[in-house]
Amino acid sequence: MNIHEFQAKQLFAQFGIPVPNGKEIRTPLAAEKWAAKLNASVYVVKAQIHAGGRGKAGGVKLTKNCAEVPALAKELLGRTLVTHQTGPKGRKVRRLLVEEGADIAKELYLSLLVDRDSGWPIFIASTEGGMEIEEVAAKTPEKVLKEPVDPAVGYQGYNGRNLAYGLGLPALEPTILGSFIALLDNLYRLFMEKNASLVEINPLVITQDKQLVALDGKMSIDDNGLFKHPDIQAMRDLHEEEPLEIEATNNNLNYVKLDGNIGCMVNGAGLAMATMDLIKLAGSEPANFLDVGGGATKETVAAGFRILLKDRNVKGIFINIFGGIVRCERIAHGVIEAAKEVDIKIPVVVRLQGTNADEGRKLLQESGLKIEVATDLWEAAQKVVALTGKKRKKVEAAS
């Protein structure tokens, strides 16, 4: 789960990582009151959306004039920001972070994540703060420093020194060494205690008066660890999620919306991805990823159907089930029930294989519903693409 910058900074503050004095703002009036209280030399008004690239997209405003803050807030609130991470539709700004500006002497990059290969947490740091780290890694890999932390003993001072000297910090600013090492210690504690999968501070700045400040903050929490943290669960912002994905989550389904026009419903994540790939190979594009899981029931299949049909791009449906623990006749019952409930006007191809597949296919064939039944995977994919294509052509001819 991703959280907003202002929420990440609240957690930073709780763990002793210095952040600018700031507050979450939802109205221009609140902005006015907070700015007056803040009484800073520079005010920063930042749009809060779950996407990077906000600065370039005009989502971050600066002013030295306290009186201008409400107007800047008004300008940003309700605006749709399009960044390289939001997609062309962009994200509507509903919340702001209004904070004091910093007098920057030097910008650094710092993040912490788990290295999948070794299974160790690893700090990544660079002197090239404020830039995207992938870009720095591609152009100047020598400027990206990595410091793994042995999880058996946790963060040690030497981890911090390795990075500090590697970055040339003591030469740059001798007084900063101690606070840098302490900041990394706090960051590691935050990461482990809150089950983070990524904490990124970009930039981490050294101010003119030689203080370290986390000027930006990004944090993702491991979904599997969320159950331990009601405080972080409360930070979930449903506006940042696709409505169909929320509905899917509420029905214990794993759904990701895509841009194609063939909706797919599959049991198992790997097979679901392979099915999407197969649709592309057959000449069309998948409308979604939908994994109904190993324990699919009539109810989950029906819920999956409803979600697929709510996506207006969906012009055909491909259900691909490999019955292992899940018995195919149960899936067939679910499909029949759901199909009776909702009036399905688009082609549906169901491919059943594995446990009780024959029985499931027979149920579907005898249901009287307009459902194409298949056994062979490739044949089924080609069929759904062919049927969907025809349908689309007809619509075009009619209009």
Partner 1 sequence: MSILVNKGTRVVVQGITGKEGSFHATQCKAYGTQVVAGVTPGKAGQEVEGIPVFNTVRDAVKKTQCDTSLIFVPPAFASDAILEAADAGIRLIVCITEGIPVNDMVRVKRALRGRDVRLIGPNCPGIITADECKIGIMPGFIHKKGRVGVISRSGTLTYEAVNQLTTLGLGETTCIGIGGDPIIGTGYVDLLAMFEKDPETDAVVMIGEIGGEAEEKAAAFIKQHIRKPVIGFIAGITAPPGRRMGHAGAIITGGKGTAAEKMAALEDAGVIVVRNPAEIGKTVQGALSPRGSV
Mind telling me the catalytic residues? Answer: 109, 200
Q: Which residue stretch of 11-19, 40-48, 176-184, 268-276 sits at the interface with partner 1 (rule: CB under 8 A)? A: 268-276
- Closest distance to partner 1 from the beta carbon of 172 (Å): 27
Residue 97: other Cβ atoms inside 10 A = 22
Handedness of CA 294, 299, 300, 301 (dihedral sign): positive
DSSP letter string, 255-274: EEE-SSSEEEEESSHHHHHH
* Helix extents (H) in the chain: 5-14, 28-38, 69-76, 133-139, 157-167, 169-172, 177-193, 230-233, 243-250, 269-281, 298-310, 328-341, 357-365, 377-398
Is residue 87 helix, strand or coil?
coil
The pair phi, psi for residue 2, each rounded to 5°, is -95, 150
Of the two residues 78 and 227, which places its CB atom closer to partner 1 in the complex? 227
Q: Which residue stretch of 90-98, 276-284, 340-348, 383-391 sits at the interface with partner 1 (rule: CB under 8 A)? A: 276-284
- Closest distance to partner 1 from the beta carbon of 134 (Å): 5
If binding is defined by CB under 8 A, does position 231 make contact with partner 1? no
Question: What Å distances lie between residue 48 and 81, 142, 146, 179, CA to CA?
Answer: 10, 32, 29, 28
Question: What Å distances lie between residue 342 and 308, 328, 338, CA to CA?
Answer: 11, 21, 6
Bond prior to 203 in cis (omega within 30° of 0): yes
x/- site string to partner 1, residues 8 to 37, per CB under 8 A? Answer: ------------------------------
If binding is defined by CB under 8 A, does position 299 make contact with partner 1? no
The β-bridge relationship of strands 196-207 and 218-221 is antiparallel
- CB proximity list for 331: less than 8 A, separation 6 or greater: 267, 296, 301, 319, 321, 323, 352, 360
CA diameter of the chain: 80
- Closest distance to partner 1 from the beta carbon of 85 (Å): 7
Angle at 388 between CA 399 and CA 253, to 5 degrees: 120
Q: Name the residue among 179, 154, 149, 151 with its Cα closest to residue 164.
A: 179
If binding is defined by CB under 8 A, does position 244 make contact with partner 1? no
Q: Which residue stretch of 32-40, 317-325, 338-346, 366-374 sits at the interface with partner 1 (rule: CB under 8 A)? A: 317-325
Name residue, tokens 């790939």.
Answer: 277
Of the two residues 157 and 324, which places its CB atom closer to partner 1 in the complex? 324
Of the two residues 68 and 247, which places its CB atom closer to partner 1 in the complex? 247
Question: What Å distances lie between residue 265 and 193, 351, 371, 377, CA to CA?
Answer: 36, 10, 14, 14
Interface with partner 1 in residues 164-223 (CB under 8 A): 192, 195, 197, 222-223
x/- site string to partner 1, residues 340 to 379, per CB under 8 A? Answer: -------------xxx--------------------xxx-
Question: What Å distances lie between residue 46 and 43, 60, 165, 240, CA to CA?
Answer: 10, 4, 33, 16
Of the two residues 15 and 322, which places its CB atom closer to partner 1 in the complex? 322
If binding is defined by CB under 8 A, does position 62 make contact with partner 1? no
If binding is defined by CB under 8 A, does position 273 make contact with partner 1? yes
Which residue in the set 36, 62, 246, 269 belongs to the binding site for partner 1 (CB under 8 A)? 269
Q: Name the residue among 370, 347, 343, 363 with its Cα closest to residue 263.
A: 347
Of the two residues 197 and 297, which places its CB atom closer to partner 1 in the complex? 197
Interface with partner 1 in residues 105-164 (CB under 8 A): 114, 116-117, 119-121, 133-134, 150-152
Of the two residues 31 and 275, which places its CB atom closer to partner 1 in the complex? 275
- Closest distance to partner 1 from the beta carbon of 318 (Å): 13
x/- site string to partner 1, residues 67 to 106, per CB under 8 A? Answer: ------------------x---------------------
If binding is defined by CB under 8 A, does position 266 make contact with partner 1? yes
Which residue in the set 145, 272, 308, 314 belongs to the binding site for partner 1 (CB under 8 A)? 272
Q: Which residues bind partner 1 (CB under 8 A)?
A: 85, 114, 116-117, 119-121, 133-134, 150-152, 192, 195, 197, 222-225, 227-228, 254, 256, 258, 266-281, 285-286, 289, 291, 294, 322-325, 353-355, 376-378, 381
